[in-house]
Every structure is written in C-alpha cells, then in structure tokens.
A and B are shown apart, each in its own frame.
Chain A
Amino acid sequence: MKFLVNLAFKNLFRHKRRTMITSIAIAVGLALFILIDSMLVGIEEDSTRNLVLYETGSARIMDAQFWEEHENLPLKHSIDNPQPILEDLEAAGIDAAPRTVFRGELIMQKDPYPESGSIQAQITAIDPQRDPQVYLIDESISAGRFLKEDRLEAVVGAWLAEDIGAQVGYPLTIVTRTKEGFFQTIDLEIVGLANTPNPVVNRTGIFIPIKTADYYLQMDGSVTQIDTSFPYQADIKKQTSKIRSVALEDRPDLTIVDWKILGKDFVALAAAKSAGSKVILFLVFIIAAVGISNTMLMSVYERIREIGMLRALGMRRHEIRLAFLIEAGGIGLIGASVGVLIGVLLNIPLVNNGIDYSALMRDADMGYRITGIMRGLWSTATILTAFFTGVVLSVLMAFIPTRKALKLQITDALRYQ
C-alpha cells in the first residue's frame, strides 16, 4: 500500500503542467460553484425577507371572494368590521395590520410635474399606526416623512417618483371608483418617498392613510385585507392554523393565504432560476470532469506499457487500479483544496459587502425582491459538497480509462505503442 501511494504521488508530478492545468480546472469549477451557490442562496434569502417585510406580510386574511377575484381587486368583497379580528389577533400576540388595496389613475399636471399625463396604479391604503407592526415601509422613507392618520397625503415609491418626476410636496390626484362603483377623485400631497430594499415597492408603491381611503372609497370601515406577521422561520402551516383558530372561527367568509402563495410569481421564478443556475453549475462540473477525464485518459494510455510491466511483475489489476485512482484523487484533492480556498476567499467580500447591481436592478425587473446589493451567504454544506465532489469526481473520471487499460492482455499492453 505504501508503495502504491508513493507511486501515485510521484506520478502526480510526472507531468506537472498537466496536473496543474487539471487542478486549476477543478479549482475554478469548485470556486464558481461555491460563489454561485452563495449568491443564489443569498439573493433568495434577501428576496424572501424583502417580499415578506415590504410586500406580502407573512400571511393575509381576505374575503374568500376577494381572493378568488384578487386580480380585479373587487372592493365590494372586502372584510366588514375588521376590528374584532384585529383585537383577537392582538390578544393572541400576532402582529396584524389592515390594508385596502385598490386601483386608480394617477393624474399629473405639468408644473410642478415635468409633463402632464396619467398612469394606472395600484394604491395601498395603510394604517400608519398598525402597519409598522407588519411592514418596514416607515423605516425606508428616503425623503419627507411617513404617513399620518386621516390626512390627504401619500408616500410614493422612490423609483416611481423619479419616473413621473414627483418630489415631496407635489400634489397627487387619484381618480378611482368607490366600493359601490362610483367615480371618485382624491387629491393628495406627496409627503414622503419610500426607498425600500424591495424593487416592486419602489417601482409601483403608492401608500395613503387607510382612514382617507375609507372616507373616499366609502368603505364603511371595511378593508380588503388584514396582513399578519409571524417569525420568519416559523412553520407557516402552524401559524396560519393558529390565526384561523384565534380570529377566523366565526368568519367562514374569510380566508387566509400565506406569503408563499401571495408571492408565487417570485417563488416560481426563484425555483426556475435556481434550476437554471443548477444547469450552469452542472456545466461547470462537466468542464472540470472533462478536464480530469482527459488528463487521466492521457495518463493511463501513455502508461499502458508500464501497466503491462507492472502486471508482468505480479502486480494485480486492483492494485494498479488503486494506484491510478489514488493519483486521480490526488489531482482532485489539489484542485478541490485550491478551489475551496479560492471560493471561500472570494466569498468573504461577497458576504460582507455584496455586489452592487443597483444600476441594473433599477431599470430591469429580474423578479428578485432586491434593489441592488446582492450578498452571498455562507454554507458549510456547499463548501463540503464542493470539496468532496472534486475529489470523488476525479476518482470516478479515472475509473473508466483505467478499467479499459486493465482489460488489455498483458502481452498486448507490453507491445502497446
């Protein structure tokens, strides 16, 4: 065994350049694997957090009919008398905030706006007191201030404001329909701009006080939804069951939907992108595997006569195979060690500082709920997987050519040119 290890070790450096190139191929593959995985997991973590904290809450209570037609935002299917529900949830220690979401047309007049015009928008009426229990919009005001109750004012997503040329202090006119379907015009003043880590909020968010909406939309105290917040890592099913039993037992007309369903576009996108990225990773591994395979193929085939000699001298096939596999494992070990080292070193700034993609994210909707800085995430499992994959892959890639060479008759091997 000592001889086999010694032979394998020395053969490892028989063609230093070839060993080095193959090791580099493995190292680059594994370093990329660690970095891409770190980034993907980091982006997904951040996106999920930003989705829940700025867009969907952990779970949403709605009228079942409203949920069924939620793409049309039918105000007539709102939750009547939400107060007892909010009180029950509060008593059970569950953070909750009422919201009313409706569509309208934003009317902009030249002076102070750069151009006159209008755009369709989705407006979210929030309770300035309760909303911060579930969302962090109030902490993301980049200009002006957050909303105050019962006032004719609005907070607008910072990117939306930039797109329409709005600033704090500008008037904002919303033309919409009341709960009963009558046209209504609401004249507001922009009091703050929200620059959140969630690009969807920045790009489309318009927030007004819920009491203002209640009055103008003639909601009579009803709201379209009650958004709740529970710990991020909590079991979603258990939490929604708890909410159901605490607040919805006598409200069969209401339903509760968790963030995974509310943000299903993102969840589906994340899954699709993750699958796509895995394909890229697979290709990276294929490249590394081809490198190893090629090296081992050359190593084995140029040593067929040597293999013949070793067998003639009484070395058995499995001993020779073991020597080659140790050699391949050695290449894998060098590549994996260097790859993991490079991957870890490059991942440090990725985790601590991230990569600023803000210019890209500002103009392109990639589906992820992050505005600019993509941060990596440490994963011991990924690092260990990368390391062992490098070594195991190398050994596996050596197996086939070695097996083929060992199938030759000794006399044929000795004559091999």
Chain B
Amino acid sequence: MIQINGLKKQYRSGETVVQALRGVDLEIQNGEFLSIAGPSGSGKTTLLNLIGCLDIADEGSIHIDSVDIAEKTRKELALLRREKIGFVFQSFNLIPVLTAYENASFPLSLLGVTEKELHERTVKIMQEVGLEEMMHRKPAELSGGQQQRVAIARALIKSPDIVLADEPTANLDSETGQDILDLMEVLNAKHNTTFIFSTHDQMVMDFAHRLVRLHDGLIHSDELTRRAAGGTKVGSRG
C-alpha cells in the first residue's frame, strides 16, 4: 500500500518558484489500476516521480508498505527502485544498442538472477506482451507500440509491487495506445501489480479503474470509474 500525506513540492525555474504539489493526500491499495489525470503543470509527473523515489518531497511523507521513503538513503532508494518499482516512460526510453530481449531482461541483470532464470522470465514476459517473435530486434526495428510493449515488459519482468507510467500512450496513435492500455490492464489483473499512470487523455482516463484528478498541485477529485468492479465513486476533493 502507498500512503501519501500532505505532500508538497516546489521547483525554482529561474526567478520563478513553481508550486508543483501543494499538499496531496492519497492512499493507493495494492493491485490498483489508477490514473492520475490533469492538465499540463497540474503536478502529475511530480507526483509520479515522488512515488517512484526519483525525487524528494519538500514536505509531507510517502510510505510504501509502511516504510517512510524519506528515511531511506540514496543507495537504499536505488535498491528499492531496482526491486519494487517498474517504470514506463512516455518516450519508451529503451537502450537502442540492445535488442528487445536485452532491454526487457536488463532489470533482472541488476538483480543478479541466474542466466537460466533470466532467460526463462524474459521469454515469458515477452510472450505476455506479444513480442516473442521480435525478441531479437533492436528498438529501431520496432514500431512505437512495440517499443512501449518492450518497456512494459522491462517494467514487469522483476515482478514489481508498483508500475509507474508517465503518459505511456502520449507518443502513440489512439489505436496503439488502446492496445497498450489493454495490455496494462490484463497484466495488472494477472500479476496484481499496482499500476499508476499519468495522462491528460480522456481515452486513457476512461481505462483507469480509479481516477485521481489533479489541478494546480491539489487533488481535485478521486473516484472509481465505470471500469472498476462495482463502479462506485469513492470520493472527491476540491
């Protein structure tokens, strides 16, 4: 479970101070399929970065499985990301010199699993994302959708507790974007991994089971969508 309390973060851009988050409280249960939505500058990416231990909050706290990440050292945070958090980026961020197989298996190399296990798990995840026939292609030889599938495979291969995806469909056409969201939803159900993705695209919001809307660094609304089991609205702010 992720417990966020009174989270604040500001950036300095030249002389201007930007209040990215002004006090966010949020609780995310394990296995949720949650979208953080809002216009540009609303604080979506900042919130994802803080949950992903990529940045440090100015105020407030984030507890992941009851552990306050503010108390972790830089090394411990790196290990936490290595073991428990998967990332999917808007522009895929694959390593161009590595094949799809090598890109997907990279997190396992960091965890030091055996060659045999690495191979078995990589082949399995590549099958799950539907790229078993293209494992040995390099990113440049894959379409945008296929590259994002590799990125999802890379995020999921280590069986993380949380997958954070920052606008995962922004660089894809709507059909491919829908395929990717379908895939994420299937994998969320299959692995019971918490998926948190940011977006400002209505189609993506519609895919989420829970939708958290941010506006000017504050949570504007927080509700279960029609896709969620039961479809009950769980609350709103602002």
Cβ of A11 within 8 Å of any chain B Cβ, yes or no, is yes
Give B89's nearest chain A residue, CB to CB.
A309
Check if B89 sits within 8 Å of A313, measured CB to CB: no
Could you jot down 15 A-B contacts, CB within 8 Å? A7-B98, A305-B93, A306-B93, A309-B87, A309-B93, A312-B54, A313-B82, A313-B110, A313-B154, A314-B79, A314-B85, A316-B78, A410-B49, A411-B54, A414-B93
Within the complex, which residue of B75, B87, B96, B109 is in contact with A312, where a contact is CB–CB below 8 Å? B87
Asked whether A3 and B82 contact (CB < 8 A) given A11-B97, A14-B96, A414-B89, the answer is: no
Asked whether A2 and B89 contact (CB < 8 A) given A10-B97, A314-B78, the answer is: no
Q: Which of A1-49 contact B (CB under 8 A)?
A: 2-3, 6-7, 10-11, 13-14
CB-defined contacts of A7 to chain B, threshold 8 Å = 95, 97-98
Cβ of A118 within 8 Å of any chain B Cβ, yes or no, is no
Residues of B within 8 A of A (CB): 49, 52, 54-55, 75, 78-83, 85, 87, 89, 91, 93, 95-98, 102, 106-107, 109-110, 154
Give A8's nearest chain B residue, CB to CB.
B97
- Complex Cα–Cα for A169 and B110 (A): 90
* A249 CB → nearest B CB, Å: 77
Cβ of A311 within 8 Å of any chain B Cβ, yes or no, is yes
- Complex Cα–Cα for A411 and B154 (A): 19
Cβ of A283 within 8 Å of any chain B Cβ, yes or no, is no
* B62 CB → nearest A CB, Å: 15
- Complex Cα–Cα for A411 and B81 (A): 14
User: Which of B83, B97, B98, B106: most chain A Cβ within 10 A?
Assistant: B97
User: Which of A10, A311, A314, A414: most chain B Cβ within 10 A?
Assistant: A314
Within the complex, which residue of A10, A13, A305, A315 is in contact with B78, where a contact is CB–CB below 8 Å? A315
Give A312's nearest chain B residue, CB to CB.
B87
Cβ of A385 within 8 Å of any chain B Cβ, yes or no, is no
User: Which of A6, A311, A312, A316: most chain B Cβ within 10 A?
Assistant: A312
Known pairs A6-B102, A313-B82 / 10 extra A-B pairs, C-beta < 8 Å = A2-B109, A3-B106, A312-B52, A313-B107, A313-B110, A313-B154, A314-B82, A314-B85, A319-B110, A409-B55
- Complex Cα–Cα for A305 and B82 (A): 18
Check if B107 sits within 8 Å of A314, measured CB to CB: yes
Give A410's nearest chain B residue, CB to CB.
B54
Within the complex, which residue of A306, A314, A409 is in contact with B110, where a contact is CB–CB below 8 Å? A314
CB-defined contacts of A312 to chain B, threshold 8 Å = 52, 54, 81, 87
User: Which of A10, A14, A319: most chain B Cβ within 10 A?
Assistant: A10
Contact with B along A310-340 (1 / 0, CB 8 A): 0111111001000000000000000000000
- Complex Cα–Cα for A409 and B55 (A): 8
CB-defined contacts of B102 to chain A, threshold 8 Å = 6
- Complex Cα–Cα for A391 and B175 (A): 50
Asked whether A314 and B97 contact (CB < 8 A) given A411-B54, A411-B55, the answer is: no
CB-defined contacts of B52 to chain A, threshold 8 Å = 312
* A306 CB → nearest B CB, Å: 6
Check if B89 sits within 8 Å of A410, measured CB to CB: no
Contact with B along A197-217 (1 / 0, CB 8 A): 000000000000000000000
- Complex Cα–Cα for A61 and B81 (A): 82
- Complex Cα–Cα for A319 and B110 (A): 10
CB-defined contacts of A311 to chain B, threshold 8 Å = 78
Within the complex, which residue of B91, B96, B97, B106 is in contact with A313, where a contact is CB–CB below 8 Å? B106
* A301 CB → nearest B CB, Å: 16
- Complex Cα–Cα for A3 and B80 (A): 20
Give B164's nearest chain A residue, CB to CB.
A312
